[in-house]
Amino acid sequence: MRPRPKRTKSPKSAAVRAEGLQRRFNGTTAVENLDLEIAAGEIYGFLGPNGAGKSTTVRMLCTLLAPTAGRATVAGFDVATDPGSVRLRIGAALQDVALDPKQTGTELLRLQGLLYGLPSRALDKRVEQLGELIDLGDALNRRIATYSGGMRRRLDLAAALVHNPEILFLDEPTTGLDPVSRARVWAEVRRLNQQLGMTIFLTTQYLEEADELAHRVGIIDRGRMVAEGKPVDLKRAVGADVIIARVEGQGAAVAPTLHAIPGVRNVEAHGSELVITTDNGPAALSPVAVALAGCEVPVRELTLRTPTLDDVFLDLTGTRIEHDDNEEDAA
């Protein structure tokens, strides 16, 4: 008989905890000294550009990839020393849908259920429930090879939910989806969290997605966590307001002048775009316009808005997140 796995309950019942997690590939560090603590029932958004280390982190937490250094527990079990116990408690929809095109949807869900040890009677009912959940109708009895991209994504999500996992990992679940489908996935994520209390670890390169869904956000860039907190707190740290000035020519020359305006916290120049953070946007808008005119810089556009997570990312890394939307429209 197998010894009962030892469950290490972290303080505040952390669903996911990582300490100094690291992964190297042939001398390249993909994830470096990552610390995480995600409470049970939380939606955690893991935000970063392509190649930042998001998927590598997910693969380590899902036991698909062994960490090079550091330690992580998921649902209280160590991913390296007790992966079997972790797998029983997690579900995952990875960045690429992971389906067998030669099976039917029903066969795939049934096989998932069998491998998760669901009793046969419960399995039939569960497949029926999931069929309703993803609304594939009769298509569930067709081979997956005939499904559209959107149908595959939904089946992939259902496959991750067969066993009602405690923790759900969603690796860029909306990449390539149209806005309507994206909104539906958001609604689904909220519902899983609110109605089933599922902890959700969501990676995304869409700032509005993290802003919309996540209770807390971690921002990763080049394998390192650069900021973590509630979206509202992260945005507040940037400043109360952001003024975006698009000028003709390079903006860098006028940045020092703008920085000298009272109330301006920071000025970043990116080509012809100037990002001015300030505690009081309406009050600073006129002085900014006057200063730009004084420097004889033609202004093409002047916008006042509240900060976004994109501004947070820009403030922390000096670059904006570029979306990879080249995938097929999966709707």
Partner 1 sequence: MSTVTIAIPIADEVVRAQPAGFLRDLGSIAGRALRAVPRDVEAVMPPVFIALFFFVVNIATLERLTQNIRGFDYTAFQMATAILLGVTGVSRAGAVVLDVQDKYFDRLLLTPVRRTAILIGHMAADVAVAAALTVPIITLGIILGVRFAGGPIGVLVFMALASLWSLAFAGFGYAIALKTGNPAAVNSSFLLFFPFLFLTSSYVPRSQLSGWLKTVAGFNPVTYILDGLRSLVLTDGWQWGELGKAVVAIGVVGVVSMALCFAALRGRTRRG
Residues of the shown chain interacting with partner 1 in the complex, contacts defined by CB under 8 A: 2, 59, 62-66, 84, 87-92, 94, 96-103, 107, 111-119, 122-123, 126, 129-130, 132-135, 143, 148, 150-151, 154, 159, 163-165, 178, 180-181, 184-185, 187-188, 191-192, 195-196, 331
Instruction: State the DSSP code for 51.
Output: T
- Structure token digits, residue 294: 């004084």
**Smallest distance, partner 1 to C-beta of residue 326, A:** 18
Instruction: State the DSSP code for 104.
Output: B
Instruction: State the DSSP code for 143.
Output: B
From the number of C-beta atoms within 10 Å of its C-beta (0-12, 13-18, 19+), residue 111 rates as middle
Dist CA 315 CA 24 (whole Å): 27
Choice between 124 and 268, CB closer to partner 1: 124
Choice between 111 and 255, CB closer to partner 1: 111
Dist CA 196 CA 71 (whole Å): 28
Choice between 107 and 268, CB closer to partner 1: 107
Choice between 248 and 325, CB closer to partner 1: 325
**Smallest distance, partner 1 to C-beta of residue 199, A:** 15
CB 273 within 8 A of CB 248: no
Choice between 34 and 264, CB closer to partner 1: 34
**Smallest distance, partner 1 to C-beta of residue 34, A:** 16
Dist CA 244 CA 221 (whole Å): 23
- Structure token digits, residue 198: 């599922």
**Smallest distance, partner 1 to C-beta of residue 111, A:** 6
Q: Hey, what amino acid is at 110? A: R
**Smallest distance, partner 1 to C-beta of residue 56, A:** 9
Choice between 47 and 144, CB closer to partner 1: 144
CB 160 within 8 A of CB 93: yes
**Smallest distance, partner 1 to C-beta of residue 89, A:** 7
